[in-house]
Structures are given as structure tokens and as C-alpha cells.
Amino acid sequence: MKPGNPEPDRHHMPQETPPNTVLTRLECSFKGKTIALEVVVDLDRCLANSEDPPDFYQALARAGKVDPYSYLYEVLESEEIHFSEPTGLAIGCCVEGQFDWNAFVQRVRNSGDVQIVQAIAEREMGVVDLDAQAELKAALLAAYREGLRAGKAASCQGTVA
């Protein structure tokens, strides 16, 4: 290492967020054959479009080149989708083959809130690791969320002429 070039501070290096994905699988019998479909679903892309749960059956059908207007598609829809191999924030939302979309959306929201208050704590108070100070983290999150609620309430009141 050259003088004047300090080693980068590992705490201040941008952390890459892992993608949020889940592997979906479905198996059924159709005309005497076993049909097995699987696809990795990019949950970030789904969430960017809407907070409504994605149509996992359509994703599987597209991956298997199944016409959504076919009888095979109807058979697919009658079967249970198995979810596995989650990544990112989806890890805590995939249990015993089931995926909790609403819990995933909440985790993504919470993650965004934590990133915001972490940046504020670091900038205003010099706190680099907010997780090490659980009470401070909880207080900052509560204040941040209360501010969001107050801002939404104020914007809904409008002005009286």
C-alpha cells in the first residue's frame, strides 16, 4: 500500500444487495405424460410492476412454452406450485414449499426504511453499525415511519379555499 492511499474503510464500501428470487416448480400428469416445469422468478422485477402477487402459473407456463388458453394450462392451474431456493429478502418468506408474498413485500419495505435510517444515523450521529444499537435503531425507525404517516395525513387533507 502506498503512503497517502489509505486502505478503504470496509464499513463505508457500498454493499451490493443480493437479488430477490425464488425457484418455482410444478409437476402434473397430462395425457399420460408427466409434465415438470420450473423457473427462477425475479421477485424484484415483479415488485417493480406491482405490489400484487405475481402470477406464478403464467411464469411457469411461459418457461415451459405452454399456451395460457390451452387445456394443459388449466391442468397446471389445478396443481400446487412448490417454492424453494429463495435468495435475498425472500429467504424468510419461503417455508415448506410455500411462499408468502405479503411477508416479502413487507420485508422489502422494512429493508428500505432501515437503509434510510442507517444513512441518517451515520451522517448525523456517526453511527456506522445501527444493528449494534437495537434501541436506537427501533427509535429511529419509529420516528421515520411516524414522519411518513404524518406527511401522508397532511397531504390527504388538502387546502380549503
Instruction: Convert the pLDDT of each residue in 130-150 to its tens digit.
Output: 778 878 877 887 888 778 777
Q: Read off the C-alpha cell for 90.
A: 425472500
User: What is the Cα 13 distance to its own chain's centre?
Assistant: 22
- Name the pTM for this structure: 0.66
User: What is the Cα 28 distance to its own chain's centre?
Assistant: 29
Q: Which residues, listed in sequence order, are joined to residue 33 by a DSSP beta bridge?
A: 30
Q: Crossing angle for the helix pair 134-157 and 101-125, nearest 10 degrees?
A: 110
Instruction: Convert the pLDDT of each residue in 85-125 to its tens digit.
Output: 999 989 999 999 999 999 999 888 888 777 788 888 888 88
